[in-house]
Structure 1
Amino acid sequence: MLFLIRLVNMLFQIYFYLIIANVLLSWFPHNRSNAIFRFIHEMTEPFLNLFRRLLPFTRLSSIDFSPIVALLALELVYHLVLKLLYALAI
């Protein structure tokens, strides 16, 4: 069970950093055919678009706050999943 908890922890951390990387990459001009950019974009955009659709106020003018809301939601889900896994481990 400890392996599963560590795996879930690692996966959530990786996804957290992918969202951060997507935000940072959006600030700079880039080549959209770049494989790394495409990977990060394809991994994070479906999750971010969920918040853009459900909460249209996350896009104010040219500033997109959906990554902040997405990171908060991801953190909440992360803690709920960990609590569930720890409860099952006991």
Structure 2
Amino acid sequence: MRLLLAAIDILLRIIEILIIIRIILSWLPMQRTGPIMNILYQLTEPILGPIRNLISRSSIGNNMMLDISPIIAFLLISVIRNIIFRLLI
């Protein structure tokens, strides 16, 4: 059971790290194409895309200039981690 919890925790931490890398790279003046950026976007967009769509359809996201989907993703990952750990411990 501990091995499963450790694997889940590592997976969620890797997702968080990839999102942080994407945030940092989005602030840098560089091309958004290339193999590394493509892989990064392919790994993070399935998480951030649906959150971004929900925000844009809500009343708070109509004219929002800042993408808060990574913040919400971190909150959701934290909630998921807590639920899984409480269920499996």
Return the TM-score normalized by structure 2.
0.84
Q: Helix, strand or coil for the counterpart of 2:16? A: helix
Aligned to 2:84: 81
Give the Cα–Cα distance (whole angstroms) in 2 for the partners of residues 55 and 48 of structure 1: 10
The alignment-based identity, stated in percent, is 32
Aligned amino acid, residue 41 of structure 1? Y
Alignment of 1:1-90 (within 5 A): 1-56=1-56, 57-58=60-61, 60-61=64-65, 63-86=66-89
Number of residue pairs the alignment of both structures matches? 85
Give unpaired runs (5+ residues) of structure 2: none
1:68 shift after superposition: 0.5
1:4-34 Cα distance to aligned partner (Å, 9 max, x none): 1111110010001111111111111333342
Return the TM-score normalized by structure 1.
0.83
Larger fraction in strand: 1
What is the CA RMSD across the aligned residues, in angstroms?
1.5
Give the Cα–Cα distance (whole angstroms) in 2 for the partners of residues 35 and 82 of structure 1: 35
Give unpaired runs (5+ residues) of structure 1: none
